[in-house]
């Protein structure tokens, strides 16, 4: 039914597995199309009570947006790409049904952003998290500047996004990016155990919890100023696409070499 996702529905738990393991489950346009439809299914199918999102293979949850799709985009096209990603992730964040990420390896760039759009996260001991976009002459475009800051605080978010450092599972636990660390073998079962507990509670009350907590992290001052941090992020993402450094950064990644940035 989906080209890039595997889905199963068992005892009310809908498992969505991003399935491009040879590309470390990188998020291309088709993944976003499929994910958008899968979340529609979550909204509309009464049999689905809760959702688990994970990645195929032992190595990666999602290693980011698909960098091969970045070449030759105009500023406007880049902004549309970021907006599209943000919209699909808002749909996840605003789902009335709990959506939990089971992070089974690399969660980088758009992968970390996908995990952060979920209501909370578990990960396996081999997981690695990061927003390495500055290595490409870019910044996160799918809500990462906002959600990482909400989850781990301003200073840590600044450092992680400026250095592009990857952190391991224990550090992710320590800074509040994930709630639990498990062995790779027990990740899905442990996540499902928590979803089972949630499914024993009143669904309307759970939906209201999600709605109220989401409101708690929205910056009122940003909205009243007419521009949210998410809008600013879309614009900044577009701005980066017309720089020489972005061309150099993405080309260097694809040529498997280190980028040489000049500030242009």
Residue (98 or 132) nearer to ligand COA, CB: 132
User: Shortest distance, CB of residue 28 to ligand COA, whole angstroms?
Assistant: 8
Positions touching ligand COA (CB under 6 A) are: 23-24, 26, 63-68, 106, 108-110, 132-133, 135-136
Other Cβ atoms closer than 10 A to 99: 23
User: Shortest distance, CB of residue 237 to ligand COA, whole angstroms?
Assistant: 10
The Cα–Cα gap between 103 and 105 comes to: 6
The Cα–Cα gap between 129 and 36 comes to: 23
Residue (195 or 240) nearer to ligand COA, CB: 240
- Please give the torsion angle defined by the CA atoms of residues 135, 138, 143 and 149, in that order, rounded to the nearest 10 degrees: 60
Is 233 a residue of the active site?
A: no
User: How is 120-178 classified by DSSP, letter by letter?
Assistant: EEEEETT-EEE-GGGGGT----SSHHHHHHHHH-HHHHHHHHHH---EEHHHHHHTTS-
User: Shortest distance, CB of residue 110 to ligand COA, whole angstroms?
Assistant: 6
Is 76 a residue of the active site?
A: no
Catalytic residue among 10, 69, 77, 113: 113
User: Shortest distance, CB of residue 24 to ligand COA, whole angstroms?
Assistant: 4
Query: What residues form DSSP beta bridges with 101?
Result: 53, 121
Q: Which residues are designated catalytic?
A: 113, 133
């Amino acid at each position: 039914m989906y080209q890039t996702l595997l889905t199963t529905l068992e005892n009310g738990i809908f498992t969505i597995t991003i399935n491009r393991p040879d590309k470390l489950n990188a998020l291309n346009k088709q993944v976003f199309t499929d994910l958008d439809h899968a979340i529609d299914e979550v909204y509309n199918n009464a049999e689905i009570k809760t959702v688990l999102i994970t990645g195929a293979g032992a190595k990666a949850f999602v290693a980011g947006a698909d960098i091969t799709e970045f070449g030759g985009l105009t500023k406007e096209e880049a902004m549309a790409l970021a907006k599209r990603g943000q919209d699909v992730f808002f749909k996840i964040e605003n789902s009335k049904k709990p959506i939990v990420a089971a992070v089974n390896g690399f969660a980088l760039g758009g992968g970390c952003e996908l995990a952060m759009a979920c209501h909370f996260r578990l990960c396996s001991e081999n997981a690695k998290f990061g927003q390495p976009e500055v290595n490409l002459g870019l910044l996160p475009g799918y809500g990462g500047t906002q959600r990482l800051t909400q989850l781990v605080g301003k200073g840590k978010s600044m450092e992680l996004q400026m250095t592009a450092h990857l952190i391991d599972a224990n550090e992710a636990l320590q800074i509040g990016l994930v709630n639990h660390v498990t062995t790779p073998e027990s990740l899905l079962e442990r996540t499902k155990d928590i979803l089972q507990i949630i499914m024993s509670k009143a669904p309307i009350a759970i939906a209201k919890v999600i709605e109220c907590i989401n409101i708690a992290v929205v910056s009122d001052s940003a909205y009243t100023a007419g521009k949210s941090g998410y809008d600013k992020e879309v614009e900044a993402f577009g701005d980066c696409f017309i720089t020489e450094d972005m061309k150099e950064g993405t080309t260097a990644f694809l040529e498997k070499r280190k980028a040489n940035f000049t500030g242009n």
